[in-house]
Amino acid sequence: MDICITGYQNRVATLLETATELRLYSLEGLRVVRSGMTAMPTAGACILPTYLKSMGVEIVICGGLSKAVQDGFEALGIQVISWVKGPIEVVLTAYLEDKLDTMIMPGRTNRNAF
C-alpha cells in the first residue's frame, strides 16, 4: 500500500495547499519497503487527487484541507487523514503504530475515522 504525507520543511505542512513536498512511502504490512519524495505539482492542490491517484497512492496524511479537495480524494477512493501535525518521520511512525490520533492539531478532529 502506498501512502503520501504532504510536507513542508520536514514537518507536515499546515495546509495541504501550502505543502512544498510530497513524501511517498510503500508499505508492506507495517514495514516501509520503499520511500521517495516529489515536489508539489505547480498546478496546486486541486490537481493533487488525480496526480496522487496516478501514482497509486491510497492514503494521504496532511494538515488542513479544503472541502473541495477532500471531496476530490474521496471521489477517487483515496482515504484522507487530515489535520495532522508534527515532524514527518514521527507522523509516519505514529501511523504505523496506529497512534495518529495523538498527532491531530489542537481543536480539530480528523474528518475521516482512523
Partner 1 sequence: MKRAGLPKNISLESVVDSVAEGIFTVDLDWNITFFNQAAAQITNISPVEAVGQKCWEVFASSLCDGACPMQPCLKNGKSVLNKSGFILGADGEKIPIGMSSSPLKDKDGVVIGGVESFRDLSSLHQLMLKVEERYSVEDIRTNNAHMIRMLQILPPIAQSTSTVLLLGESGTGKELFARAIHNQSMRKEKPFVAVNCGALPGNLLESELFGYKAGAFTDARKDKPGRLELAQGGTLFLDEIGDMPLPLQVKLLRVLQEKTYEPLGSVAPIQADVRFVAATNRDLETMVSEGTFRQDLFFRLNVVRIDIPPLRERTEDITLLTNHFIRQQNSLKGKNINAVSERVHHVLFQYDFPGNVRELENIIEYAFILCPGKMIEMAHLPEHLKPQIREQHTPCDYAIPTDAAGMAQHKHHAVLQALDKHNGNKSAAARELGISRDTIRRILKRHEAK
Q: Point out which residues bind partner 1 (CB under 8 A).
A: 8-9, 13-15, 17-20, 43-44, 46-47, 49-50, 63-72, 74-76, 85, 105-109, 111-113
| Nearest CB to partner 1, comparing residues 27 and 92 | 92
The answer for residues whose C-beta is within 8 angstroms of residue 25's C-beta and 6 or more apart is 2, 3, 4, 5, 32, 34, 35, 92
Across 29-67, the runs of DSSP E, i.e. the strands, are 31-39, 57-61
Task: Compute the least distance from the CB of residue 42 to partner 1, in Å.
Answer: 10
Task: Compute the least distance from the CB of residue 31 to partner 1, in Å.
Answer: 29
